[in-house]
Amino acid sequence: IILFAIIALKNIYILGGLTLLFALISRREFIRISKRTLVSILFFNFVITLSYVASRLIKGEAWLDYVLLINLRVFDATFFTFYFINKINLFKALQFSGILSFVFIIAYSQITNYKRIFENFKQAFRSRNLQSLNRRERYNFVKSVFFCLFQTSHQSSNEISLSMKSRCFNVD
């Protein structure tokens, strides 16, 4: 509900005040969560902002207020999400429903599995390459990682589907 309220806000000053409120509530964690937020939204916001500014400049229209509004909305919504996840134990929060708990555990295990595989690939890449690689070699590395993650995803989704069917989560 709070995320929908943040997204619905159309006042730059209220969104700026909300950012200050988040800074007061999160105290020492504000810088860390802000860095995480900025890293996660940087590319998306940069592309959207750049395209919007370019289209407005071509039309000769004002753009600053709307760009600030959109970027503050995205920052506040993402910051709130990270802060919420940091403070709430989702395993305990979903205990009221066996189905939600089960689905969350499956999703969480998938995330940790892919994270582990990716870290293994990164470590193997670093240990086998002492000098920087050209673009083609990096492309081949990313391609092989993507292929491995895709295969792993396909195999584990089949296994999860079978295990869910065996526990009567059959939705076919």
pLDDT tens digits for range 37-94: 888 888 888 888 888 888 888 888 888 888 888 888 889 899 988 888 888 888 888 8
pLDDT for the residue numbered 114: 83
Q: Any residues with CB less than 8 A from the CB of 135 and at least 6 apart, and which? A: none
Q: pTM for the complete prediction?
A: 0.60
Structure tokens at 56: 């407005």
Other CB atoms within a 10 A radius of the CB of residue 18 amount to 22
pLDDT for the residue numbered 29: 87
Higher pLDDT, 27 or 7: 27
**What would you report as the CA-atom Rg of the chain, rounded to the nearest whole angstrom?**
21
pLDDT, averaged across the chain: 83
d(CA 106, CA 100): 10
pLDDT for the residue numbered 92: 85
pLDDT for the residue numbered 123: 85
Q: At residue 172, does pLDDT exceed 70?
A: no
3-state secondary structure of 129: coil
pLDDT for the residue numbered 169: 66
pLDDT for the residue numbered 170: 63
Structure tokens at 55: 């289209």
Share of the chain above pLDDT 70, in %: 97
pLDDT for the residue numbered 171: 56
